[in-house]
Amino acid sequence: MNDCLFCKIIRREIPSTIVYEDEEILAFKDIHPVTPVHILVIPKKHITSLAELQKEDEAVVGRIYTVINEIAKKEGIFEKGFRVIVNCGEDGGQEVKHLHFHLLGGKKLGVKIA
Ligand code: 5GP
Ligand code: ZN
């Protein structure tokens, strides 16, 4: 996907602060953090949204959660807790059309995140 923002981040065409990378997964700091720790974890494969997930994507999504735990430990938020959010589609408030998992932590979160 040539014009996808997050694909451009994967290709280093747009700079970002990368905190984790392997063959299938990239994690980088959100440009507008809403919590002290706010990291986006994405599959390198362009998947438009959670709603577009295919059977073949199940393994990488499972691995993303393991990676999230590792990042949470590195970022020092594992013990106190954190939140993972996936916005999907228009009503879900998804702005970037490449599947991404928000890892949020570093403060006590309320019931609702904007
Ligand atoms: P969504 O609203 O689609 O769930 O989340 C998209 C997220 O991407 C937002 O939290 C937004 O701050 C973040 N974002 C948008 N553009 C950029 C960018 O160029 N770099 C980084 N690191 N994050 C971005
Ligand atoms: Zn993409």
Residue range 17-35, pLDDT digits in tens: 999 999 999 999 999 999 9
Residue 90 to residue 94: CA distance in whole angstroms? 6
Query: For residue range 55-90, what is the model confidence (pLDDT) as tens digits?
Result: 999 999 999 999 999 999 999 999 999 999 999 999
All structural domains of the chain, each given as residue ranges with its CATH number in brackets, are 5-105 (3.30.428.10)
- CA of 113: how far to CAs of 78, 84, 100, 102, 104, in Å? 19, 11, 16, 11, 10
pTM value surpassing 0.85: yes
Q: What is the 31 CA–ligand 1 centroid distance (Å)?
A: 6
The two tokens of residue 5 are: 């923002």
Residues with CB under 6 Å of ligand 1 are 5, 14, 16, 28-32, 40, 87, 93-96
Q: Which of 30, 50, 91, 99 to mutate to test the pocket of ligand 1 (most atoms within 8 A of CB)?
A: 30
